[in-house]
Structure 1
Amino acid sequence: MERAEENVTVLNSPLIPSPEEIPDENGKEVILEELRKQLWLAGPLIMVSLLQFCLQLISVMFVGHLGELALAGASMATSFASVTGFSLLMGMASALDTLCGQSYGAKQYHMLGIHMVRAIVVLLIVCIPLAVIWANTTPILTALGQDPAISKEAGSYARFMIPSIFGYGLLQCQVKFLQTQNVVVPMMISSGITTLLHLFICWILVFNSGLGSKGAAMANSISYWINVFLLALYIKFSSSCSKTWPGFSKEALHNVLNFLRLAIPSAVMVCLEAWSFEMMVLLSGLLPNPELETSVLSICLNTAATVWMIPFGLSCAVSTRVSNELGAGHPRAALLAVRVVLFMAISEGILVGLIMLLIRNIWGYAYSNEIEVSKYVARMMPILAASNFMDGLQCVLSGTIRGCGWQKIGAFINLGSYYLVGIPTAILLAFVFHIGGRGLWSGILCALVVQVVCLFAIMLRTNWEHEARKAKDRVCDTSIPVELLS
């Protein structure tokens, strides 16, 4: 009877709990402390995401000064690399949100290094077939009906980016390793140093080495490896990682299946969502006046990707907080973390949405001098603001999913939301009702609404005490006695 009453309390609890629900004398102080912890995590993580995003952006900007063909090839190669490589690796590394986060909360500190090395081994193996795909970018794009000249330029750019995929895989593992133990400022510093060096490296390789666009691709590879090297030095020599980094061990080769059980659904979660947005741009090329539609959809996608860095930082923060608290056996603290991040996501979404509406008539001119493009972007901004609001909610809820280890559920939700609802709705609105690009993005908005409703329903039905016990069992299943590490 007591268990049933406890479950009802969890199911019907409000967004922000009353002081009576929190096991502390001062509920407001507990909420403010949780808010402080998440902001301390999210702020640097937002900067890390933006700075890493800037590497690709800076390279394409340098290539833009070489001519239209070079720019088109670099842009297509960057998009191809994101779809076929970067999103997959980022998704697989997200399994560490659960494994490292819960191990850290359970004070099984030595397991964080084991999990990271295991993830590195798996991701480096996955990078090999991805490198083969990148090496054949030209024939793949040509087979997909892309312009032969642009496909050739994109293939050349992608081949010089092949070293970056291995560096990116290592980098994602390092980021998750540090993030889950609340070490975020060093990542922000290393990303800032890398971005500053990237500007100089791009200038040298693009304009002074004779490599042209290939130099920009090579600069990406060099910069990713610089970031990996800086974080490796920190992990090796910093006292904050002395307990969590026991060094390389053969024990990392054990229990690989446990990692894959989370890594594969995590990758599916990320890829299904990323691919749907890229598909909108491809579908825009089939609309009447494809140049206008593709330009506007690309501007919207770029805007959405930039703004998305804010809720993504919140998502990483809440995944860390939830996994840490569940691993420590504190279910109510995990629930409070979810409530606080939802409050922040709603506030951020409203604020950013209002800003987007206020600048809707001038935002298009930041990308194009064409009046037609700017007016079209202005018409798109209300839909974009609404989708940004819903995307922020799904992003933090997805972070909770990762913190709890529900990646398989998240993968099924994303599959249904984007490919059973979103894309069919987009095609219907754009090509049957002839709404054009607004119809395509409205389809994405429908997918986000369905995704948020499903994720929120799962949160309401969650028994957090049960999840804390599952986290304890998971940590015990994957833990290795410390004496075996010597």
Structure 2
Amino acid sequence: MEKLGSTDPADPPPGAGPVAGVSVGRSTGAEEDEAAVSSKLFRCACVRRWLPLVYREELYQVLRLSGPLLLSRVLNFLLPFVNSIFCGHIGNAELAGFALASATINITTYATGFGLAVACDTLISQTYGSKNLKRVGVILQRSTLILLLFCLPCWALLVNSHNLLIILHQEEQVAKIAHLYVMAFLPAVPAIFLHQLQVAYLQNQGIILPQMYTAAAANVFNLGASYVLIFLLDMGVNGSAIANSLSQIAICLLLFGYIRWKKLHQETWAGWSTECLQEWGSYMSLAIPSAFMVCFEWWVWEVGGLLAGVLGEVDLAAQHVMVEIGAIAFMFPLGIQAAACVRVGNALGAGNTTSALVTCKVALFLSGTLAFLQGIAIASFKSVVGYIFTSDENIVNIVSQSLTVYIFVQFFDALLCVCSGILVGAGMQKIAALSNLVGYYCIGLPVGIALMFAAKLRILGLWLGIFICVSLETGFFIFLIFKLNWKKVTQKAQLRAGKRVMVIPMRPVSTLLNDAMVADISDCPNTAKLVGEAVNQMATVQSTPRIRS
């Protein structure tokens, strides 16, 4: 295979410009500046020789998005984490009530809002990539109305949470505390939904920093409000719930104010339009599978907690520690997942099939590499990491044993997470939702339950079941991604964005890309033939009348 040494690695090969990145809303000068920065990041001669320029440029773009996204998710994770610390200092019953309330809110509200907003990750990324910018504003309006309507069933479930918890055989005192917390949290439900839409609206345009700034400010507010309400005003759990609710409202208002202040909406917002009352069917066809895709994954961890509770307090505590460690480890692939979703959606909306494929390979390689390094770190400290959460030797030993399996779980889960982001960017939530249903509830949980109780492996058995699930599902997703008819996927993305692609035969691939790039893409038989067409598809995108459902 011929190397890239025949050309200056700093200069793109002829025709490689559109492949290296989706230049939506960017000037040529901005693209050249980014190319110069990315070339400085990869000064190693070995890397520049063996890694084709298009992959280096895409790696830079993914890292540029992933870093701030990772920090934003960590800051959002800290909001409930701080509340749990404050509740733990009130008393054991209050901490148990907070944990039960958090599980209730996660299942009924967070999972629903996050899942429904995932449809915007598909629609906005593809529409913005197609440069049909004003349609992005219409999508935001439509999704706002739909998610606000979904507040009603969420409120209904939360209001009746006490009765539901009693039906699930929870302790009366703990259920009462959880219900008080949930009732004080009710005003935050619309803010949670709207904030998810704001984040989707910005990040799918490649605007990441505002959500990081506002999340940091909300954490400062939450810390101060929690201290004042819980300790100075002696409001107990109610004070924690009010502080949490006010923090969720604050982060939504802060991000809205930042968008208005910096005029980040001007390109895509043309005012409220009656068009937002149309095409609800097309939105829901993505939103409902997205919600199930998220809920199927989130619910399995709550089920795992209930199963661990059957084994006893020690196993329940160990499972809680494992979930906390998993939540922290999962932040890294989450950032890459969001970046992959944005890049794939933008590329497909722009008609640039090749760029979408390059993003898939780069994101999967990056997540696999980070997960491998993360696994080494966990293996090095698995015998002592439990002491961060507890001083109980039994719990620490169980956590240490479970982490041996979790090292492999987190590797496949990282790849699975990024695969899900790729499929969302391509608008294939239905397959992802069905796969999560079969993987977690037909394979993972049944095997895990059998190993927990019949084989008497306790929570180690649960994690073995999850390992079998995520490894099989990861293999299926990777096979699916590289066997897709990406030409058809691109055309569907164009239709969603209100555009149409006219595919015109292009020059042979070898005249556009170097041999190293050709050899790499030709590994996928269903995608290699698309490269010649996809390189210059941006020139063939034609506007068409908006499609009605």
TM-score of the aligned structures, taking structure 2 as reference length: 0.81
2:233 to 209, 219, 222: 209
**Does the CA-based 8 Å contact 1:111-1:480 persist in structure 2?**
no
User: Cα deviation per residue 1:273-303 (whole Å; 9 max; x = unaligned)?
Assistant: 111121111111222xx11111111110111
Q: Give yes or no for contact 1:236–1:245 (8 Å, CA) kept in 2.
A: no
The 3 A distance-change label for structure 1 pair 250 and 412 is same
- Percent of pairs with identical residues: 32
* Structure 1 residues 311 and 21: CA distance shift in structure 2, 3 A: farther
1:71 aligned residue (95, 107, 122): 95
| Residues 498, 545 of structure 2: 8 Å contact kept | no
Instruction: Name 1:9's counterpart in structure 2.
Output: none
Taking structure 1 as reference, are residues 477 and 326 closer, same or farther at Cα in structure 2, changes over 3 Å only?
A: closer
Relative to 1, partners in 2 of residues 1:442 and 1:431: Cα closer, same or farther, differing over 3 Å? same
Report the alpha carbon displacement of residue 80 of structure 1 after superposing the two structures with TM.
1.2
Structure 2: any 5+ residue segments left out of the alignment?
1-11, 21-47, 501-542
Aligned residue among 285, 298, 314 for 1:261:
285
Please list every run of at least 4 consecutive aligned residues from structure 1 whose deviation after the TM superposition is greater than 6 angstroms.
Answer: 19-22, 24-27, 477-482
CA distance in 2, matches of 1:246, 1:365: 54
**Structure 1 position 359, deviation (Å):** 0.7
The one-letter code sitting in structure 2 at the alignment partner of 1:346 is: G
Q: 1:69 to 1:110 in 2, by over 3 A?
A: same
Aligned counterpart for 2:330 among listed residues 290, 308, 315: 308
Residue 181 (structure 1) aligned with residue 201 (structure 2) = no
2:400 paired with 1:378: yes
Deviates more, 1:117-126 or 1:472-481: 472-481
Aligned length: 462
Partner of 1:6: none
Tell me how far apart the structure 1 counterparts of residues 183 and 99 of structure 2 sit (CA, whole Å): 14
Q: Which amino acid aligns with 1:348?
A: L
User: Contact 1:102/1:326 (CA < 8 Å) preserved in 2?
Assistant: yes
Which residue of the partner structure matches residue 241 of structure 1? 265
Which residue number corresponds to residue 421 of structure 2?
Answer: 399
Tell me the CA shift for residue 82 of structure 1. Answer: 0.4
Q: How far, CA to CA, are the matches of 1:125 and 1:344 in structure 2?
A: 39
Q: Which residue of 2 aligns with 1:98?
A: 122
Q: What secondary structure, in the 3-state scheme, does the structure 2 residue paired with 1:285 have?
A: helix
SS at the partner of 1:94? helix
The separation in 2 between residues aligned to 1:134 and 1:218, in whole angstroms, is 15
The normalised TM-score by structure 1 is 0.92
Comparing 324-333 with 46-55, greater Cα deviation is found at 46-55
Which digits, 9 at most, give the CA deviation of each residue in 1:283-327, with x for residues without a partner?
11222xx11111111110111112111111110100000000000
How much is the aligned-residue C-alpha RMSD, in angstroms? 1.9
Aligned to 2:507: none
In 1, Cα distance between equivalents of 2:484 and 2:291: 23
Matching of residue 291 in structure 1 with residue 313 in structure 2: yes
Q: In the alignment, what sits opposite 2:470? A: 448
Q: Are 1:137 and 2:189 matched, yes or no?
A: no
Further displaced range: 461-470 or 90-99: 461-470
State whether structure 2 residue 351 is matched by structure 1 residue 329. yes
Counterpart for residue 77 of structure 2: 53
The answer to whether the 8 A contact 1:44-1:188 is kept is: yes
**Which shows bigger deviation, 298-307 or 203-212?**
203-212
- Counterpart AA for 2:111: S
Q: Does 1:459 align with 2:478?
A: no
Q: CA deviation at 1:33?
A: 1.3
Give the conservation status (yes or no) of the 8 Å contact 2:132–2:498. no
CA shift at 1:237, angstroms? Answer: 3.4
The aligned amino acid for 2:408 is A
Contact 1:277-1:444 within 8 A present in 2 as well: no
1:374-433 C-alpha deviation (Å, 9 max, x unpaired): 111111111111111111000000000100000011111111100110011011111111
SS of corresponding position for 1:221: helix
Amino acid at match of 1:187: Q
Match of residue 86 from structure 1: 110
Partners of 2:463 and 2:330 lie apart in 1 by 15
Larger Rg: 2
Alpha-carbon distance between aligned partners in 1 of 2:296 and 2:15, rounded to the nearest angstrom: 37
